[in-house]
């Protein structure tokens, strides 16, 4: 499947909406992750020790922003190059950090569902099957690159 200019524009447009309210959408993103997989709470250093998902927690925001932003970047690359190219060091780092924190393949599906639901809520009546598909494809490519690196680390 080719990733078109329109797909890229759709992803960028919705990321622009979300960027305007990072605290709210980061919190939503993590709340949905925990709704789908409550046990994931223990994986994140910033969630482990707290009773609830903390509003305005900088680390929580950082992970949410990175997942969204990197997915957005991979959308741009998919359109420009037809594949996702993450810097060698970055990819190695991503593989290592997730392996170290006990992340396994099915977790990527949970994060994907949370990502899509957050975007659905954020984009309101701009939400469409096409938008969902564009984010899914971009995320799947990025997740595959990280997962491949995690396997190499073992
Ligand atoms: C840490 C990105 C998916 C769990 C990180 C970091 C980055 C990152 C950049 C390092 C944070 C930092 O140094 O500030 C991504 C991207 C993902 C992804 C781009 C998907 C495309 C996942 C998934 C899980 C996960 C599926 C599992 C639920 C974690 C955990 C940490 C981490 C537990 C350590 C956070 C901490 O305790 O401080 N991730 N991640 N990530 N990630 Fe991900």
pLDDT given at position 45: 87
- ipTM, two decimals, is 0.96
Instruction: Check pocket membership of 30 for ligand 1, CB cut-off 6 A.
Output: no
Q: Please determine, for residue 154, whether its predicted confidence score (pLDDT) is greater than 60.
A: no
Task: Write down the mean pLDDT value for the chain.
Answer: 90
Q: Please determine, for residue 56, whether its predicted confidence score (pLDDT) is greater than 80.
A: no
> What domains appear along the chain, each with residue ranges and CATH number?
5-153 (1.10.490.10)
* Probe target for ligand 1 pocket from 97, 136, 148, 149, with the most ligand atoms within 8 Å of CB: 97
Q: Could you report the per-residue pLDDT of 6-51, keeping only the tens digit for each?
A: 999 999 999 999 999 998 999 999 999 999 999 898 899 888 877 7
Instruction: Check pocket membership of 150 for ligand 1, CB cut-off 6 A.
Output: no
Q: What is the 3-state secondary structure (H, E, C) of the chain?
A: CCCCHHHHHHHHHHHHHHHCCHHHHHHHHHHHHHHHCHHHHHHCHHHHCCCCCCCCCHHHHHHHHHHHHHHHHHHHHHHHHCCCCCCHHHHHHHHHHHHHCCCCHHHHHHHHHHHHHHHHHHHHHHCCHHHHHHHHHHHHHHHHHHHHHHHHHC
Q: Region 134-153: what's the mean pLDDT? A: 91
Give the atom of ligand 1 at the shortest distance from the alpha carbon of 45.
37
Closest protein CA for atom 33 of ligand 1: 44
Q: Region 102-130: what's the mean pLDDT? A: 95
- Report CA(63)–ligand 1 centroid distance (Å): 6
């Amino acid at each position: 499947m080719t990733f078109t200019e329109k797909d890229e524009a759709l992803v960028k447009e919705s990321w622009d909406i979300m960027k305007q309210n990072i605290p709210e959408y980061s919190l939503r993103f993590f709340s949905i992750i925990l709704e789908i997989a409550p046990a994931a709470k223990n994986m994140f250093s910033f969630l482990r020790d707290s009773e609830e998902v903390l509003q305005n927690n900088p680390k929580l925001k950082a992970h949410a922003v990175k997942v969204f932003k990197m997915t957005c970047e991979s959308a741009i690359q998919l359109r420009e190059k037809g594949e996702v190219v993450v810097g060698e060091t970055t990819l190695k780092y991503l593989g290592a950090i997730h392996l170290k924190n006990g992340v396994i393949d099915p977790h990527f599906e949970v994060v994907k569902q949370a990502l899509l639901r957050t975007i659905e809520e954020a984009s309101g009546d701009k939400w469409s099957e096409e938008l969902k598909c564009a984010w899914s494809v971009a995320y799947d490519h990025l997740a595959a690159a990280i997962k491949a690196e995690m396997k190499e680390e073992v």
